[in-house]
Amino acid sequence: MPKFVNSLVELVTASIDNISTPDIHPAQRAPPGLLEGVQTPEMITRHFRNTLLYIQAKKVAAEGTPGSCWDDVDVVGALLKMGLGAR
Percent of the chain with pLDDT over 90: 46
CB 84 within 8 A of CB 16: no
- Please report whether residue 87 resides in a domain: no
State the pLDDT confidence band at 1, using cuts at 50, 70 and 90: confident
pTM for the full model? 0.76
Q: What is the mean pLDDT of residues 65-85?
A: 90
Predicted local confidence at residue 78, as pLDDT: 94
Which DSSP symbol is given to 79? H
- Please report whether residue 86 resides in a domain: no
Predicted local confidence at residue 24, as pLDDT: 54
- Please report whether residue 62 resides in a domain: yes
- Please report whether residue 56 resides in a domain: yes
Predicted local confidence at residue 26, as pLDDT: 54
How many domains does the chain divide into? 1
Torsion over CA: 73, 10, 49, 33 (sign): negative
Burial per residue of 49-66, b for 16 or more beta-carbon CB atoms within 10 angstroms, e otherwise: bebbeebbeebeeeeeee
Closest CA to 16 of 30, 5, 3: 30
* Residues pairing with 35 in the sheet: 38
Expressed as residue numbers, the domain containing 60 is: 2-21+30-81
